[in-house]
Chain A
Amino acid sequence: MTDTARRASGLVVPTFRPDPDGTHPPLDYGGYKSTALRHPKRPLVPLPHRLTETTAPVFGGDRVTEADADLTQHHDGDPQGERIIVYGQVVEDDRRPVPNTLVEIWQANAAGRYRHAGDQHPAPLDPHFTGGGRCLTDAEGRFRFITIKPGAYPWGNHHNAWRPAHIHFSVFGRAFVQRLVTQMYFPGDPLFFQDPIFNSVPDAAARERMICRFDLEQTRPEWALAYQFDVVLRGADATPMEEHH
């Protein structure tokens, strides 16, 4: 449909571009056992983007405080482990920043243990570390967390399976179809080759995009190393969200 025809209808809804082939893991991935009974077997039905798909919740600043982004300050004492700065930008595939969007993270502690009843890995919990944080991106889509470098940990997927160190990320974006949950990995991790979750992403270059970049420039001398992790969401044509006539 032409732009003129779309406008004539009184309501213009953008269509978000599809992700390149090989970007996302298949839902059926034999290497990751838990997918077996949890992936749909019928083909997904294409859903053209309408208003519900092209809008998203807006989270007010009242729901997020500055302290939420410093995971090392959520208790009375300092957590064990290597303090790190994780910063980056949420952008769309045309580099347009996504301002004021909610970024949430969660992770294991330095010993590779999550503060969760389901985690039975015999590694110590840290009384000074919970492992959850959140922030809203600024006007340029930027976020910045202070945390502890998470440890690797074993899991029962296959014999001697270990997850590479990672931080879970949840990002909303400005449209329902931009919603992304991913994991951020660290450069040079020797465990990548045997991890089915990391390797479930078909395209090798796409896998690299889940690995943060060590950034000497942003380190704070005598205090913490820094890693950059940019999150890229699908973009849309630059049509207005809605036009009334």
Chain B
Amino acid sequence: MPTTPSQTVGPFFAIELPYGDGRYAVPEGTPGAVWLRGRVLDGDGAPVPDALVETWQADPSGQFGGDFRGFGRSGTDDEGRWAILTLKPGPIPGASGEAAQAPHVDLNIFARGLLHQVVTRLYFADEGQANAADPVLAGLDEDARATLVAQPCADGYELDVHLQGPHETTFFAV
């Protein structure tokens, strides 16, 4: 039974998708909460004001499926900015004999002009040792790796997503 094709999210998804507390994977005031934030930029380096960023991640102990929602969703503003309040994930146990994965967040990015979402990962700059052992980062060259590593900022971590151009983000085929 063949699968249903993807189509663009279009410019008007805000009618439905960013409802409620989408930007809050945890409520404001949660101890240890951090903002993951950044911009979505196009091939000219211009902000993409009508993108939707979704995050999916483990809880601080590296587990999925507990009380922690693990999911965040943020539209971008006129400057292309997105932001999601969450808890930093823990390292994820390795599967099939692999090393553990460094703390990371999977990102789905949707936008007008994207006929299919693009998938990337966000890693954390202050996890140098874990990042060095991560099986996904290990498969990438240094430049490609750098596009996935969020830098600490005042209230959390910051990572820009470049859909295209000299700083193009590393996107994954899943």
Contact = CB atoms under 8 A, between A and B. Distances in A.
B168 A40 contact: yes
Contacts of A27: 114-116, 118
Interface stretch (B26-34, B43-51, B125-133, B151-159): B43-51
A41 B168 contact: yes
Main SS at interface, chain A: loop
Interface stretch (A76-84, A136-144, A198-206, A214-222): A198-206
Nearest to B162: A40
A20 B96 CA distance: 26
- Which applies to chain B's interface (DSSP): helix, strand, loop or mixed? loop
Interface in A16-69: 19-20, 23-27, 29, 32, 34-42, 44-47, 49-53, 55-58, 63
Interface residues of B, number: 68
Nearest to B89: A52
Interface string B1-21: 111111111111111110110
**How many interface residues does chain A have, given as a range?**
35 or more
B116 A24 contact: yes
Nearest to B147: A42
Nearest to B116: A24
Given A11-B94, A49-B174, A91-B1, A133 B16 contact: yes
A206 B116 contact: no
A55 to B, nearest CB: 4
A64 to B, nearest CB: 10
20 contacts: A6-B96, A13-B96, A26-B115, A35-B115, A38-B113, A39-B113, A42-B171, A44-B118, A46-B172, A46-B173, A50-B95, A52-B104, A55-B65, A57-B56, A176-B56, A183-B8, A206-B2, A209-B2, A232-B4, A233-B4
**Would you list the 6 A-B pairs with minimal beta carbon distance, nearest first?**
A34-B113, A132-B16, A57-B71, A25-B115, A44-B173, A47-B172
Interface of A: 1, 5-6, 8-13, 19-20, 23-27, 29, 32, 34-42, 44-47, 49-53, 55-58, 63, 91, 93-95, 104-106, 108, 114-116, 118-119, 130-134, 168, 170, 176-177, 179-183, 197-198, 200-201, 205-207, 209-210, 230-234
